[in-house]
């Protein structure tokens, strides 16, 4: 595994999905629907990945119970050729020591998680 340079680590750490629209495709469907907007996120850097927990404010038309928010986990990493940052397309794995670190950051922000 090639390690990231210091500059790449800084770029990865600064990258954010905050204020971006979140699109969703129903299983078996083809139409993308706007789910909401990333209102905030917390992260930890682990190796070549920026693991994030995002707090997404649901659009009013997308609320299926009284909740105004959904939470999404994922990660950012560099493309294979290291030319750009990409949203991870595979399931993320965090250890039993890394998960509490991520959740503590969310709780410090007052998130009810």
| pLDDT, tens only, 59-110 | 999 998 989 999 999 999 999 999 999 999 777 778 888 999 999 999 999 9
Q: Which helix (H) or strand (E) holds 10?
A: helix 6-14
Residue-averaged pLDDT of the chain: 92
- In the block, tokens 């399931």 appear at 91
Strand order in the sheet with 69-78: 21-25, 32-46, 49-58, 69-78, 85-87
Indicate whether 2 pLDDT > 80: no
Work out the percent of the chain whose per-residue pLDDT is above 90: 75
Q: Can you give the pLDDT at residue 26?
A: 81
């Amino acid at each position: 595994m090639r390690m990231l340079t210091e500059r790449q680590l800084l770029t990865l750490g600064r990258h954010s999905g905050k204020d971006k629209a979140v699109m969703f495709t129903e299983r078996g469907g083809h139409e993308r629907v706007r789910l909401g907007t990333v209102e905030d996120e917390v992260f930890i850097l682990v190796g070549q990945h920026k693991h994030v927990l995002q707090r997404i404010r649901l659009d009013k038309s997308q609320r299926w119970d009284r909740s105004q928010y959904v939470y999404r986990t994922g990660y950012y990493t560099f493309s294979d050729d290291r030319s750009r940052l990409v949203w991870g397309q595979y399931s993320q794995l965090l250890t039993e020591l890394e998960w509490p670190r991520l959740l503590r950051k969310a709780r410090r922000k007052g998130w009810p998680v």
